[in-house]
Amino acid sequence: MVFQDYAIFPHLTVAENVAFGLKARRMNTSEIARRVAESLATVRLDGFGERLPGALSGGQQQRVGLARAMAIRPRLLLMDEPLSNLDARLRIELREDIRDIQQRLGITTIYVTHDQEEALAVSDRICVMHAGRIEQNATPFELYRTPATRFAASFVGEMNFVPGDGDAHERAIRPEHVGLGVQPDAILLDGVVRKATFLGREAQLLIDTPAGPLLRRDSRPTAATLATQGQSVTVALPHAHIVRFDAAGRRLP
């Protein structure tokens, strides 16, 4: 198991921490040394074996925890929010390392996280849970594109929800599928841009409409597609990208 708060022994060196489970299994000294060196190399901590945990950064300490868990060659690896105590840049770096290591070693891993992007980045399958119940168990692509319930849709990624027109069915659409201007086979709404945010590689618009505020994300903004605060626009919600939920929050065909 890899813990959220590192849980490595402060009075033991890095090598002694990694060797802890191996010694408990009464392995011989040479095999322990070999596995410790192998595990530290896997997490890119070669040469750190004689250091104490206090001399390491948070990311390095979590790598020690990962190396300790892998050294015993488990059939199942459990990770309890292992990156939550790290800063944003380090989380991205280490989650990629964890994914690479898991794929290379082929260890079945159960990874608990509240970070949606992290879950999408490291998982082969994601199980979304709410109030002790499974909302959906699917691949990251399936979960994002075809959420089974309203909760799953709202929890993974951003989603616009639009009240049904004359029925109890609620409609939903991802921000990247919200268009501007008149489009065929789409719900058209008049809107006014409340907020426009340019982020370099993408732009976001928050648009007030009769159906409520809608978020639009443009992954390839150009001068022609940029809008400004207060501008009147026509919002297009293509039917092909709309998902519907019944009154109980279940996705409809």
The CATH number of whichever domain residue 183 belongs to comes to 2.40.50.140
Instruction: Find out whether 37 and 69 touch, Cβ atoms under 8 Å.
Output: no
Whether 64 has a pLDDT exceeding 90, the answer reads yes
Give Cα 145 distance to the centre of its chain: 15
Supply angle C-alpha 183, 214, 251, rounded to 5.
85
Whether 31 has a pLDDT exceeding 90, the answer reads yes
Instruction: Find out whether 59 and 48 touch, Cβ atoms under 8 Å.
Output: no
Whether 154 has a pLDDT exceeding 90, the answer reads yes
Does 171 lie in the same domain as 113?
Answer: no
Does 196 lie in the same domain as 107?
Answer: no
Bin 118: left if φ > 0, else alpha if -120 < ψ < 50, else beta. alpha
What total of structural domains would you count in the chain? 2
Does 248 lie in the same domain as 190?
Answer: yes
Residue 181 lies in a domain: yes
Average pLDDT for 200-215: 96
- For 89-122, write each residue's pLDDT tens digit: 889 988 999 999 999 989 999 999 999 999 999 9
Q: What is the CATH number of the domain that holds 105?
A: 3.40.50.300
Residue numbers of the domain that contains 97: 14-122
Q: Domain boundary at 93, 122, 151, which?
A: 122
pTM above 0.75, yes or no: yes
What is the residue type of 213?
P
- For 133-148, write each residue's pLDDT tens digit: 999 999 999 999 999 9
